[in-house]
Amino acid sequence: MFSNPHVQTIFPSLFRRVSGIHYQRQRIDTPDDDFLDLDRSGVSARRLAVILHGLEGDSSRSYVLGMVKALNRRGWDALAVNFRGCSGVCNKRLRFYHSGETEDLDTVISHVVAHENYSELALIGFSLGGNVILKYLGERGTQAQSLITKAVAFSVPCDLESSSHHLARSANRIYLKRFLRLLRKKIRIKMAVMPGQINDHNYKTIKTFKEFDDRYTAPIFGFSSAEDYWRKASCKPFLAAISVPTLLISAEDDPFLTNSCYPIEEAKNNPRLFLEIPKFGGHVGFVRFDSDGEYWSESRAISFLEDR
């Protein structure tokens, strides 16, 4: 693996190409009269892995495609969820998605249970998507769907407040500026579809996630402030209640995370939560050059899923 955390983080996004994945798109309705676009790569398996991408990602990101390919190779079907507005089509509601919004994941799982014929279901999430999965499992505790046998999460900002402030530091501005630029594109699309409901007036004054979340995320989703959103959406307070065997992997050199994002005590106190902190890996990086093109994170995830 590369030993530079920024190279680990940026290299896959710029240079990794994953071939051989041919998705079949499926659109499902949500209870609030909106929709979710799901991309499936199947091998006629009885086992399904549901994959959640990170902030402003989608099913075409290399880290999703790499995981899908590795799963298919091991005899798993894969279902990559595009969060609202991330599938290339603007969703119908003003709301989009956030780090702690678990209702859409529940909608996907409920759809799979009701309409598919799988004997086993796994959840895999990256960064924001990992936070959603961990919070979802903690919220449901022992009431989680029995079909869900295991879960894996990578590079999770378990403490959203500390991570948000950390990304505002000068060393991490390159990431923050990119996220804010991508989010503005989404807002402008919504402005065209929903005139008068949202705007980007003086958007250039927004320099931090706090300013973005205070202006957009908090009011749209009913939080009183960015801090209120971060506190209620962070997965960390929910980890103690996870009852499904779950692997959380966050690299020690992750530039997005602070010490409070590594739930060491929570993992010690919950025998179902397994925390691994490799020395290198960056944020959703874990670059490893194998002859088959598989990254370390993909091999490790499937090893955990199949460990009996």
The catalytic residue among 53, 98, 166, 283 is: 283
Residues 126/251, Cβ–Cβ less than 8 Å? no
Within 8 A by CB and 6+ apart from 5, the residues are 251, 253, 254, 255, 280, 281, 282, 283, 285
* Domain count within the chain: 1
Say if 173 falls within a structural domain.
no
Say if 197 falls within a structural domain.
no
163 is catalytic: no
Say if 185 falls within a structural domain.
no
Say if 151 falls within a structural domain.
yes
Say if 196 falls within a structural domain.
no
Domain hosting 62: range is 5-160+235-306
What confidence tens digit (pLDDT) does each residue in 6-25 have?
999 999 999 999 999 999 99
Say if 17 falls within a structural domain.
yes
62 is catalytic: no
From first to last of the 308 residues of the chain, give the pLDDT tens digit.
Answer: 578 999 999 999 999 999 999 999 999 999 999 999 999 999 999 999 999 999 999 999 999 999 999 999 999 999 999 999 999 999 999 999 999 999 999 999 999 999 999 999 999 999 999 999 999 999 999 999 999 999 999 999 999 999 999 999 999 999 999 999 999 999 999 999 999 999 999 999 999 999 999 999 999 999 999 999 999 999 999 999 999 999 999 999 999 999 999 999 999 999 999 999 999 999 999 998 777 889 999 999 999 999 87
Say if 215 falls within a structural domain.
no
Q: Of 74, 81, 69, give the one whose Cα is nearest residue 106.
A: 81
243 is catalytic: no
Strand-strand pairing, 24-29 and 35-41: antiparallel
Say if 86 falls within a structural domain.
yes
The catalytic residue among 87, 127, 250, 297 is: 127
How many Å apart are CA 257 and CA 14, to the nearest integer?
21
What confidence tens digit (pLDDT) does each residue in 186-226 have?
999 999 999 999 999 999 999 999 999 999 999 999 999 99
Which CATH number is 84's domain given? Answer: 3.40.50.1820
How many Å apart are CA 293 and CA 17, to the nearest integer?
9
- Model confidence, pTM: 0.97
